[in-house]
Structure formats: structure tokens, C-alpha cells
Amino acid sequence: MSKNLKATAIRVASTSALAATAATMIFASPASASALTDGIAATARAEEGNGACAHGGYVGGENQSSSCYNGQRTHAWCADFAGWVWARNGVTGLSALDDMADSFYDYGVKYGTLSSTPHVGDAVVYNHGGSYADDHVAIVTGISGNWVTITGGNQGGAPGHVSTHSTDAWQVGSSPWGQRISGYISPAGTTKPSYPSPSSLADGTLVKSPNGPDVKVMIKGAGVPVAGSDVTPDKYDLSKIVLVDDVAFRSLLSAPPAGTVVHDQAGGADRYVIIDGAALKIGGADWTAAGYNTRQDMGVPTAWLKAAAQRQIATGLVVMDQTGQDPARYVMVDGAALHISAAEWTANGYNEQTLMGVPGEWLKAAVAKSPGNGTVVMDQSGTDPARYVMVNGTALHISAAEWTANGYDQRSLMGVPGEWLGSAVGKQLVNGTVVKDASGKDATVYVMAGGKAVPLTYADFTGLGYDKRPLEAVPGAWLTTAAAKTAPADGTMLLAQGDATVWQVNAGKKRPMTADEFGPGKLSFNDVVSVPTALITALPTVTPTA
């Protein structure tokens, strides 16, 4: 809130009303149902940033008018907003409210809920009995220690919007935002129907809130969203939907608990286990060996399952093969499972994290992956203080000068096992990777061949087909070192455009290869790197022995 909270058309009441009331009444406690007060707070906070014409206009009690007409604000609307929030949560007695903030104060007097103590869900009235321009009403949406959080409509200057702010100057008579707090008014009760708790409903029950069209299906205490496209193929009977409380509905977790075995409700043989909201496919060998066949197998909506099968489990999650056939432990980083050595298991605190069993077949695929290109990593133990960026499975060192200059400091920094990092740092960047200086200082494009960065002319870049491959940005200092190497590593196979001869590098020289060196069980043409003719020309040819 700012000082510009004024905004609500209000009747002027007696300035002595608060003093008289406070002196003679016993302040009432808020409505006892926490679902009511929590629901009021959640409803108000969900409107953050909205203007007078959200939902076509805010209108609450029968004697309140809409805040919007034909897309335009109709009047100062803080009371309309507060009334709308209370109405959405079934508060009783709303006929006592009108478009003026003071009507909430009168409501508190009428129902005996006026108080000098704030409660979540209360309406807070400012400047009761003051001038027309300065009166205001908002909703208490949180209390923590000595701080009270308040959400109100028509704040921040005309035409106003919904905003939330906190203050420790919440006492009656205080003016935290330039307007004097006059009192707190709790809702007198609720006419809201009594709904069943979602947690009490059987698996497979369809539920929805009375306040919206969305439907969810209960699976192990979670509310899994049901898409319109799921209804027919998944055979969901919408005539059997159970209404549940709006707050409870919106609070439902959207994924079943970890370890839940699921399948597509529409059918199909594939089975999945839920881990961290992701659906991991269970291989045939894992089904019995890992004991998944002994767990309840739950049908879930088709659309949700397709999306969950594409999700990655969170970085930092520690996993193991559920079957126990692989005794190793791994930490997930950007979809890749990185091996944790025995020494690092305790030293790096991995033993203190929850260890999740995952299907062995899925784990093997995750172990074969590397963190995505551009992921910035460091040694989890801190033994190696350097920072690295991942490119095609290789960890490239980032110099101190480049850390900030190239924006690596703006990316998430992932801690990884030191032993794994050592192997990634020592790995040669994949042949055929096309790279450039991340800083842009060197405009040259290079192709990697046996650890050497080979410069490409534009003719080479297009003629060799490298313009069809991703261009990876790499640290400039690392690139300078790679470009300075005199020759590719031994064993690298090279081919120049327009030349049918494949050359193999050995001790900085090249030798022509024969066709019988390739084939099943031998070398593969897939490992040959296309390079500019200039590189091959520059390499001396091995002199044949007699």
C-alpha cells in the first residue's frame, strides 16, 4: 500500500462511534471455521494486480453494485472488492454492506464482530467517520509475529488495483499508510455448504470446486487435473463429480506421492512410478524385480501422464536403482544422474538427503546423459573452487574474468560430485561440435576435432554442413587454448571436402586410411570429422615404411 489508499465512496458516520463501542462492547473472536478465514485470505491474494473490471467487475452483497460497467471502473471500489471476497466464501449478513467502506464498520457493530485485534479474514476499516475521500476498507490476509498483511482493492491511485502489503503498525489509531486504522471486523459466520474433505474421498473420485469449472481426480490424496480431452477416452463420468471446498480444491497436490505406480486411464501396457511429480517408465525387467508389481496400480488422466512422463525430477534429488542390482548412488542434475563416489557420499552430505528408488532401466538412461549445454557447475565439496560450463558432456573451465563478463554468474550454479566433475573436465569435447567465443570478442566459428578447435571460413561453415548444427558458446580462454593446439589428438579421423581420402592423425602427422579398416567390429565412418582442407594440408604425411 501507499498513502494513496483513499478510494471508496463512503457514508460519514459519527466520529465518536468507535470510542463508544470500544468502551462498552466485548470484542468478538473471529469466525471459528479456519476454512472460512483461510479461504477469504486465499481468495483476496489470488486477485493481486487485478483492476476494477476483473471477472467483469467486483460485486458482493445484494446492496453492493459492480465496480465495472462496459469495461470501465464505475466508482471507487474498495468496498466492492472486500464484499466480493467475503461473498465468494459464503459470509453471512452481506445485505448489511453497500458500496461504502463504513458499511463494514456498521456490519461489525450489528453482528458484534468489531475488534481492535486483527484476525485473518477480517475487514479492516480506515478513517471511520472521516472525509469522503479518505475512507477505505481492505482484507487481513496474513498474520506473522507482530506483522499484519493486508490486501485491498482500488489501491495505488485511480483507477486502482488489488495490492498486498504488510505492517507492524496495525494497532487501532495507527496510520501505517497515511490513513488511520479504525477497527477490524470479522465475518459473522458462513452460509457456505459443508463439503467433504478431499482426503476422505476414495481414489478415482472426480472433484471440483463450486467456484470454477476445473475437474480433478483423487489419486492417493492428490488432485490430478482432468483435461476435457480425457473425459471420453478415460471414461470419466462427470455426473458423479463431488463438490469440495474451493480452498481445499486449490490446495490439492497435482501429483500423487512418490512411489505411486500409475498407468494411462485410457489403457495401454506401460507402467510408470511417480517420483517428484515426474512419471518414470518402469521397464519390463524392473516390474517384478523392483517389486512394483506388488503396489496398487492407479489409472491417471492421459494428458497429465503424457506431461508427467516428459518432466525431469528435480536437480539435487539423490537416487538409486530400486532393484538394488546397481549398488551405486547418484544425484540428479538437469535430468542427468551423476555418480556419487563412496568418499563423497558422506563428505558432501548426500547421505542426509532422502534416497529415492527409481527403475533400473530408467536410471541407466539417466546415467548416460550429461547436464544440458550451458549448465554451470562446481565441485559440491568445494575442493575445486573453479566454475565450469557444460557443453556436450564436457565441463569447460570458466576464467575469473569471464565469470561476470559473459553472464555465467546470472545462471543457476549446480553442485556436482567432484569425482564425476574431474572426469567431465578431462573429457575431450565431442568431435564435430561447432563452437564460438561466448563473449563475442572472437567472431570466428570453430569445429572441434580431436580436442583442437579448427577455424572455419564461411565457405567451410556452409560447405561442410556445420550451419545445420547447433552453435555452442564456450569460454574464450578455453577456446584460445583449444585453438592453439598444433594437431588433433592421436586417432582422430579427418576428411576434407571434395577429398575421398580419410586421414588418421598420429603424433601430429596424418596417414591415409584404407577401406578395410572400416566395418562391423572395426572403425566407423560416423566418427570421421569433416574439416577444412587447410588443416589436412598443414599436417605432415606419415612416410611409409619400406
Per-residue pLDDT of the chain (546 residues; tens, 9 = 90+): 333 343 333 222 332 333 333 333 333 333 444 678 888 999 999 999 999 999 999 999 899 999 999 999 999 999 999 999 999 988 999 999 999 999 999 999 999 999 999 999 999 999 987 655 568 999 999 999 999 999 999 998 888 999 999 999 999 999 998 899 999 999 998 876 778 999 899 999 999 998 789 999 999 999 999 999 999 999 999 999 999 988 899 899 999 999 999 999 999 999 999 999 999 999 999 999 999 999 999 999 999 999 999 999 999 999 999 999 999 999 999 999 999 999 999 999 999 999 999 999 999 999 999 999 999 999 999 999 999 999 999 999 999 999 999 999 999 999 999 999 999 998 999 999 999 999 999 999 999 999 999 999 999 999 999 999 999 999 999 999 999 999 999 999 999 988 999 999 999 999 999 999 999 999 999 999 999 999 999 999 998 765
pLDDT attached to residue 61: 87
Whole-angstrom CA distances from 526 to 456, 518, 519 are 20, 10, 11
Measured CA to CA, the distance from residue 99 to residue 67 in angstroms comes to 9
Measured CA to CA, the distance from residue 172 to residue 126 in angstroms comes to 9
Measured CA to CA, the distance from residue 199 to residue 102 in angstroms comes to 40
- Residue-wise pLDDT for 217-228, tens only, equals 999 999 999 999
**Cβ atoms of 283 and 323 closer than 8 Å:** no
Dihedral sign for Cα atoms in the order 517, 521, 523, 526? positive
pLDDT attached to residue 545: 63
Amino acid at 412: S
**Cβ atoms of 257 and 220 closer than 8 Å:** yes
**Residue whose C-alpha cell is 467486483:** 58
Which runs of E-coded beta strand occur in 318-362? 318-321, 329-333, 336-340, 355-358
Which runs of E-coded beta strand occur in 38-119? 68-69, 72-73, 114-115
- Provide the terminal-to-terminal Cα distance of the chain, rounded to the nearest Å: 91
pLDDT attached to residue 9: 30
Measured CA to CA, the distance from residue 319 to residue 256 in angstroms comes to 18
The cell numbers describing 439, all together, are: 563473449
- Residue-wise pLDDT for 34-91, tens only, equals 678 888 999 999 999 999 999 999 999 899 999 999 999 999 999 999 999 999 988 9
The cell numbers describing 361, all together, are: 532401466
Dihedral sign for Cα atoms in the order 457, 460, 461, 462? positive
Measured CA to CA, the distance from residue 401 to residue 399 in angstroms comes to 5
Measured CA to CA, the distance from residue 94 to residue 104 in angstroms comes to 9
Q: Is the pTM of this model over 0.75?
A: no
pLDDT attached to residue 35: 73
pLDDT attached to residue 245: 85
pLDDT attached to residue 80: 96
DSSP classification of residue 34 = H
The cell numbers describing 496, all together, are: 576434407
